[in-house]
C-alpha cells in the first residue's frame, strides 16, 4: 500500500460526517494500532488483548508464528455458516479471548455481524482462536459470536432495552471503509445506521458508550513515532532500556519469512508494537463537546476499559501494554450526569449517489513541487493527561559521554524516543519508564566532542540537548521541573566552577517575552521560574549554558482539562 496514496488525506468537505462526529464528541489523537502490520494481527489484539501467547511471553520467550500472528492468515476463512461451516488456515491460538473472559464472568455480550459477509472472516479477530473454532451450534460462543446478528437485530435490541452489556458491530465489506473495497462515504452511512439504532431508545443511549476505531493504517502516512519496546541493534544489543522486563514482547522470525531486512538493522527479532495511529471516536453521553484525548492508547485499551467497567481481568494484556497504554477512562467526564441529547449530524443517506459523483472526479495526484503537510486551523478542548515527565542531561567528561536521566513522576508509564541527530542512520533508542520510575543511559561522543540528542514523548513532550563536551563539562548543572501550582517551569542551576556563570533563557514561541539571564555565583545554586501562559500551559523555551543548549517544549500537566497545542492549529 505504500504508494503515492500513502501521503493522501481528506479535508472537511470530503468527509463531513466524520468531522462532525469528532467535533460533537471525543477524538483520540494518540490511539495507535497495536502492531505495524495488517488486519488479522491487530484484530486479534482487539479481541483478546494480545497477538502473542501470554503464557509463552511470561517465560521470557519471544513468540514465533505458531504462537502469534505476523500476517493475515488465521482469520481468513473458507466456507459459510451454518453450512457447510468454516475451514481455517494454520493452527489455532489458544489463549482466552475477551468474549470468553466476559462469558466466564457472566457478562452478557454479542457480536453483530453477517458471518457470510465479514470479508471472509478478516473482520472477526476471534476466528483465530481455538475457543471460537471449536464452538458448536447451541454453545454461547457460537450463538453470540459466530451467528448472524444483523444491524436490524441491533436496532431491535436497543429499542427494546435488551442490548447486551458488551457488543461488537462488524461492518460488511462494502461498508468497511477499507481502501479499494469501500470508502469513507459508505463507512459514514454504516456508522450513522449504528448510531441511529443506539439512540432510538433514549434510555438505552443514556447508558451506552460507543467506540469506533480501525484495525490498522493500511499504509497511510503518520509522522509520529509510535511507542514501542526498544528495537535491537545489529550487534544484538537493545537500542534503549525499560524499567520492566522486556523478553517475550518481541516476534522471533527465526525462519526469516515475514520481516523485510530493508526496514531495519534488527534482523529477525522485532518488537510487537505499537504501530501507527488510527482514528478512535468515543461517542457517549459522557464524552460530548468536541474533546480530544492525547493519552497513548491502542487496541488493548478497549479491553482495559472493559476491565474497569465489569471488574474482569483480561490475562493476555501484557505488562508493557498496561504500563504504556491507557484504559480510555480519561476520555469521559463521569462526574456529571449523562447528557443523552444526541446532536444533529450530516445526512449521509444515499451514499451511492454521492460516491458516484466523487468517482467522476480526476484522481488526486502528488504535487510536482513538494508542499507542507496540510493542517486545519483551530484548537480543541483537551482532556487532562496522566504525564509528568522530565529528562536531564549530565556530562561524563572522563568517559567522554552524555548521560540522559529519564524521570517519570506521573500516573502512567511513557516511552521516550531519542534520536542522535549526528547519527540518524542508527535506530532511535526507546526508553519505557513506568509511573514513578526513572532510568538513565549514555551516549559516547565522537572525537570532535559534539553531541545533538533529540527526545520525544507523549503529547508534544520535547527535549533537545546540543553542545560540545569540553565546554559543557564545566557548565552549571541544570534540571527543569514543573511548578504545578504556579503553572510554570522551575529551573534549578548548580555552578561547581570557581567563577560565576550565566544561563540565558529565551525564545518561548507560546508567550513571546524578553529573555532572562540568570547569574549563578561560583560554587552556588540558583533557581528561576519560567511562566507558561495560564490560558493553556504550553511552553517552548530554550536555555543556553556554556557549551550546551537545551530546548524544552510540551504542556504542563496539572490534573485539569486544557486545550490542544495552539501552535499546531
Separation between Cα atoms, residue 466 and residue 405, nearest integer Å: 15
Give me the phi and psi of 87, to 5 degrees please: -120, 145
Q: How far is it, in rounded angstroms, from Cα 350 to Cα 178?
A: 19
Hey, CA dihedral for 461, 467, 473, 478, is it positive or negative?
negative
* Four-point Cα dihedral 313, 318, 321, 324, nearest 10: 90
Concatenate the DSSP letters of all residues of 162-228 into one string: ---SEEEE---GGGS--TTT--HHHHHHHHHHHHHHHHSSHHHHTT--EEEE-S--TT----SPPP-
**Given this model, what pLDDT does residue 358 score?**
82
C-alpha closest to that of 175 among 112, 130, 128: 112
Grid coordinates belonging to 469: 563536551
Distance CA 130, CA 53 (A): 13
Q: Which residues contact 350 (CB under 8 A, 6 or more apart)?
A: none
| HSE, side-chain direction, 13 A CA sphere, residue 458 | 33
Q: 3-class DSSP state for residue 366?
A: coil
Tell me how crowded residue 50 is: count the other CB atoms within 10 A of its CB. 25
Omega before residue 295 within 30° of 0, cis: no
In this predicted structure, what is the pLDDT of residue 3?
81
Does residue 521 contact residue 528 with C-beta atoms inside 8 Å?
A: no
Q: Are 99 and 109 in contact (CB under 8 A)?
A: yes
Residues 6+ apart with CB under 8 A from 216: 33, 35, 37, 38, 39, 42, 275, 276, 278
Could you give the residue ranges of the DSSP H alpha helices within 430-534?
469-472
Look up residue 354 and give its three cell numbers.
454521492
Return the DSSP state at 344: P
Q: How many helices (H) and strands (E) does the chain have?
A: 13, 27
> What is the distance between the alpha carbons of residues 48 and 316, in angstroms, rounded to a whole number?
7
Beta carbons of 558 and 514 less than 8 angstroms apart? no
Q: How many of the other CB atoms lie within 10 Å of CB of 136? A: 9
The DSSP secondary-structure symbol of 235 reads T
pLDDT tens, per residue, the chain with 569 residues: 578 888 888 899 989 999 999 999 999 999 999 999 999 999 999 999 999 999 999 999 999 999 999 999 999 999 999 999 999 999 999 999 999 999 999 999 999 999 999 988 989 999 999 999 999 999 999 999 999 999 999 999 999 999 999 999 999 998 888 888 889 999 999 999 999 999 999 999 999 999 999 999 988 889 999 999 999 998 889 999 999 999 999 999 988 888 877 777 888 899 988 999 999 999 999 999 999 999 999 999 999 999 999 999 999 999 999 999 999 999 999 988 888 899 999 999 887 888 888 888 888 888 889 888 788 888 999 999 999 999 999 999 999 999 999 999 999 999 999 999 999 989 999 999 999 999 999 999 988 999 999 999 999 999 999 999 999 999 999 999 999 999 999 999 999 999 999 999 997 788 777 789 999 999 999 999 999 988 899 999 999 999 999 999 999 999 999 999 998 86
Which distant-in-sequence residues (6+ apart) come within 8 Å of 368 by Cβ? none
Closest CA to 168 of 108, 96, 217: 108
Task: Name the helix (H) or strand (E) containing 16.
Answer: helix 16-24
| End-to-end CA gap in the chain | 29
Question: Kindly report the CA angle at 399 between 396 and 403, in degrees rounded to 5?
Answer: 40
Give the number of other CB atoms < 10 A from CB of residue 144.
20
Record the pTM: 0.96
Query: What SS3 class is residue 63?
Result: strand
Domains recognised in the chain with CATH numbers: 19-228+273-359 (3.40.720), 386-563 (no CATH)
SS3 of residue 139 by DSSP: coil
Amino acid at each position: 500500500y505504500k504508494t503515492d496514496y500513502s501521503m493522501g488525506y481528506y479535508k472537511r468537505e470530503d468527509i463531513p460526517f466524520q468531522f462532525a462526529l469528532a467535533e460533537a464528541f471525543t477524538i483520540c489523537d494518540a490511539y495507535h494500532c497495536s502492531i505495524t502490520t495488517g488486519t488479522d494481527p491487530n484484530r486479534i489484539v482487539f479481541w483478546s488483548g494480545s497477538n502473542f501467547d501470554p503464557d509463552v511471553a511470561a517465560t521470557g520467550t519471544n513468540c514465533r508464528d505458531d504462537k502469534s500472528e505476523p500476517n493475515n492468515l488465521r482469520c481468513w476463512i473458507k466456507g459459510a455458516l451454518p453450512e457447510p461451516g468454516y475451514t481455517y488456515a494454520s493452527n489455532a491460538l489458544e489463549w482466552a479471548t475477551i468474549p470468553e473472559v466476559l462469558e466466564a464472568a457472566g457478562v452478557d455480550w454479542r457480536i453483530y455481524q453477517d458471518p457470510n459477509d465479514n470479508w471472509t472472516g478478516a473482520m472477526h479477530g476471534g476466528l483465530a482462536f481455538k475457543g471460537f473454532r471449536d464452538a458448536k451450534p447451541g454453545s454461547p460462543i457460537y450463538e453470540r459470536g459466530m451467528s448472524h446478528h444483523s444491524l436490524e437485530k441491533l436496532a431491535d435490541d436497543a429499542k427494546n432495552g435488551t442490548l447486551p452489556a458488551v457488543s461488537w458491530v462488524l461492518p460488511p465489506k462494502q461498508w468497511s471503509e477499507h481502501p479499494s473495497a469501500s470508502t469513507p462515504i459508505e463507512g459514514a452511512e454504516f456508522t450513522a445506521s449504528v448510531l441511529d439504532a443506539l439512540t432510538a431508545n433514549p434510555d438505552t443511549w443514556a447508558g451506552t458508550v460507543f467506540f469506533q476505531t480501525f484495525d490498522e493504517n493500511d499504509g497511510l502516512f503518520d509522522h509520529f513515532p509510535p511507542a514501542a519496546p526498544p528495537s535491537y541493534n545489529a550487534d544484538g544489543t537493545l537500542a534503549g532500556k525499560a524499567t520492566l522486563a522486556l523478553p517475550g514482547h518481541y516476534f522471533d522470525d527465526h525462519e526469516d519469512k515475514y520481516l523485510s531486512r530493508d526496514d531495519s538493522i534488527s534482523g529477525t527479532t522485532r518488537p510487537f508494537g505499537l504501530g501507527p495511529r488510527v482514528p478512535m471516536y468515543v461517542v457517549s453521553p459522557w464524552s460530548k463537546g468536541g474533546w480530544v484525548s492525547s493519552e497513548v492508547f491502542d487496541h488493548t485499551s478497549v479491553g482495559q476499559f472493559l476491565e474497569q467497567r465489569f471488574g474482569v481481568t483480561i490475562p493476555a494484556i501484557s505488562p508493557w501494554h498496561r504500563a504504556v497504554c491507557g484504559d480510555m477512562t480519561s476520555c469521559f467526564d463521569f462526574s456529571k450526569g449523562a447528557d443523552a441529547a444526541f446532536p444533529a449530524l450530516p445526512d449521509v443517506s444515499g451514499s451511492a449517489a454521492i460516491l458516484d459523483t466523487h468517482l467522476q472526479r480526476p484522481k488526486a495526484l502528488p504535487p510536482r513541487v513538494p508542499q507542507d503537510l496540510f493542517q486545519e486551523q483551530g484548537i480543541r478542548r483537551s482532556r487532562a493527561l496522566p504525564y509528568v515527565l522530565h529528562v536531564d542531561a549530565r556530562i561524563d567528561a572522563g568517559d567522554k559521554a552524555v548521560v540522559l536521566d529519564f524521570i517519570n513522576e506521573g500516573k502512567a508509564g511513557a516511552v521516550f524516543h531519542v534520536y542522535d541527530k549526528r547519527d540518524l542512520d542508527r535506530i532511535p533508542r526507546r526508553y519505557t519508564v513506568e509511573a514513578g520510575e526513572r532510568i538513565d543511559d549514555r551516549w559516547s561522543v565522537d572525537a570532535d566532542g559534539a553531541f545533538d540528542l533529540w527526545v520525544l514523548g507523549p503529547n508534544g513532550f520535547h527535549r533537545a540537548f546540543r553542545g560540545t563536551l569540553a565546554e559543557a563539562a564545566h557548565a552549571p548543572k541544570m534540571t527543569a521541573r514543573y511548578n504545578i501550582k504556579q503553572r510554570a517551569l522551575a529551573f534549578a542551576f548548580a555552578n561547581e566552577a570557581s567563577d560565576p556563570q550565566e544561563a540565558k533563557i529565551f525564545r518561548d514561541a507560546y508567550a513571546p517575552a524578553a529573555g532572562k539571564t540568570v547569574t549563578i555565583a561560583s560554587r552556588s545554586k540558583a533557581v528561576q521560574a519560567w511562566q507558561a501562559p495560564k490560558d493553556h500551559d504550553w511552553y517552548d523555551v530554550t536555555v543556553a549554558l556554556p557549551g550546551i543548549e537545551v530546548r524544552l517544549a510540551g504542556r504542563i500537566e496539572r490534573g485539569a482539562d486544557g486545550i490542544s497545542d495552539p501552535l499546531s492549529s
